[in-house]
Amino acid sequence: MNVMRKPDPSPAQRQQNWERVQFLKKHRPQNRPAQISAAVFLVMALFSLWHLDLQWGRLFASESEPGLLRFINQDIRPYVTRQPDWTWGDLGLWLFGALKDYGLRATWGTLLLATAAIGLAGFGGLLLAPLAARTLTVPDPYMGPQNGARSHLSSAVRALCLAMRALPEYVLGFLLLALLSGSTWPAVLALALHNAGILGRLFGDSLEDVSSAPMRGLAAGGARPSGMLLFGAVPQAFSRWLAYFFYRFETCVREATVLGMLGVISIGYYAKEMRSRQFYDELFVLVLLGALLVLLADALSGWLRSRLRKG
């Protein structure tokens, strides 16, 4: 079988191609701010790694010394597997006992904590959204060009949302623990307030992005701003609201595992206890349960959001 071979370029064509490549390289678009930012970040990262007391030797210590290698090969191994005559049945009984004693209870507590918090956060986001939407807090909502439209009310509410989401959940929960110790409220409110700020801003932005034509039709029929919101803006933004809500729910599940360290019955609570007792094998079981719970929440959230997009 004869295959037609493309003739090799002549020396003149090679030179022409080379000059063209050099011309394109010289005149390619460059983003100087991005390059400078990347260089500054790289220098800061190297500076931080150099000056932090990271104890690099702990990462590469021998298995007989405290370090990462001994932690992986010994400490997190289930206790029964350290015995010379262990069997898979012994490992199964050990794992079953761990799940029965604290694993399932910790997982259930984490799920309840996240669900209660995201429920309150969603309600708070619904209250904040109409006030954060700049198209609803102007004299004539949706009735004219809204480019640059501002109101003191929407600016104040958006600043409030920013302040709420700027507070780390664990720090906020630690502060609330001084006021509401002995209950689950510090963890629930910490998650709820943080996520309410995020959802309030996202819900408000969704109300700004809806089509104004239905609202103008409602206004022409004599509807008030509240009617325009309920019967025109909300139906258009509702699917996006649900997508944001489920996205924050999976994030809330992940954060709830950590906030249990404040004393709430959850994965974080038992993880802190196992760490204090140096039961690293059982701590590893809790870490796996937390990861499994987050993966399930992420899968459920992703499936629901994909269904909403298709709808």
pLDDT of residue 135: 78
pLDDT of residue 123: 95
Residue 79 in this model has a pLDDT that exceeds 50: yes
pLDDT of residue 145: 44
pLDDT band at residue 311 using 50, 70 and 90 as cut-offs: low
Residue 73 and residue 220 in contact, taking contact as beta carbons nearer than 8 Å:
no
- Token pair 């039709």 in the structure block, residue: 217
Residue 224 and residue 136 in contact, taking contact as beta carbons nearer than 8 Å:
no
pLDDT of residue 44: 93
pLDDT of residue 148: 45
Question: Averaged over 262-290, what is the pLDDT?
Answer: 86
Cα 216 to the chain's mean position, in Å? 37
Q: What tokens does 22 get?
A: 């050099």
Question: CA-to-CA distance for 306 and 239, rounded, in angstroms?
Answer: 11
Reported pTM: 0.75
Query: CB 285: neighbour CB atoms within 10 A?
Result: 23
Summarised one tens digit per residue, pLDDT across range 139-160 is 666 654 444 445 778 889 999 9
Summarised one tens digit per residue, pLDDT across range 18-74 is 878 777 777 777 777 878 888 998 999 998 888 887 777 776 766 667 667 777 777
Burial of 275 by CB count in 10 Å (0-12 exposed, 13-18 middle, 19+ buried)?
middle
DSSP single-letter state for residue 65: S
Contact partners, residue 67, CB within 8 Å, separation at least 6 = 57, 58, 59, 60, 61
The angle at the Cα of 113, spanning 107 to 117, to the nearest 5 degrees, equals 150
Residue 198 and residue 161 in contact, taking contact as beta carbons nearer than 8 Å:
yes
Summarised one tens digit per residue, pLDDT across range 89-147 is 888 998 898 888 888 998 999 999 999 999 999 999 999 998 888 877 766 666 544 44
Q: What percent of the chain has pLDDT over 70?
A: 89
CATH number of 96-310: 1.10.3720.10
Query: CB 257: neighbour CB atoms within 10 A?
Result: 25
Summarised one tens digit per residue, pLDDT across range 194-223 is 999 999 999 998 988 887 777 778 777 777
Question: CA-to-CA distance for 161 and 40, rounded, in angstroms?
Answer: 30
Look at 301 and 295; give whichever has higher pLDDT: 295
pLDDT of residue 146: 47
Q: What tokens does 107 get?
A: 């997982």
